[in-house]
Amino acid sequence: MGTLTFTATMSVDGYVADADGDFQWAGPGDAVFAAHIDRLSQVSTEVHGRKTHLLMAYWDAEPEPGAWGPAEHEWARLWAGTEKIVASSTLSQDDLSKGARLVPHLELDELEQIVRDAPGDVEIFGPTTAAPAIRAGLVDEFRLYVVPKVVGSGLRAFPHEANLDLELVDEGRLDAVTYLRLRRR
Determine the length of the chain. Answer: 185
The span from the CA of 163 to the CA of 151, in Å, is 23
In tens, the pLDDT along 71-125 reads: 999 999 999 999 999 999 999 999 998 889 999 999 999 999 999 999 999 999 9
The span from the CA of 159 to the CA of 23, in Å, is 18
CB atoms < 10 A from the CB of 58, how many? Answer: 10
The span from the CA of 29 to the CA of 143, in Å, is 17
- Beta-carbon contacts of 115 under 8 Å, excluding residues fewer than 6 positions away, are 1, 2, 3, 4, 122, 138
Q: What are phi and psi of 135, to 5 degrees?
A: -60, -35
End-to-end CA distance of the chain: 19
In tens, the pLDDT along 59-85 reads: 988 888 989 999 999 999 999 999 999
Report whether pLDDT(1) > 90.
no
**pLDDT value for 67:** 92
DSSP string, 28-50: --HHHHHHHHHHHTTEEEEEEEH
**pLDDT value for 36:** 96
In tens, the pLDDT along 157-169 reads: 999 989 999 999 9
96 secondary structure, DSSP code: S
The span from the CA of 86 to the CA of 88, in Å, is 6
The span from the CA of 49 to the CA of 55, in Å, is 10
**pLDDT value for 97:** 86
CB atoms < 10 A from the CB of 89, how many? Answer: 11
**pLDDT value for 117:** 95
In tens, the pLDDT along 25-51 reads: 999 999 999 999 999 999 999 999 999
Q: Mean pLDDT, to the nearest integer, of 156-182?
A: 96
**pLDDT value for 63:** 87
C-beta of residue 100 within 8 angstroms of C-beta of residue 53 = yes
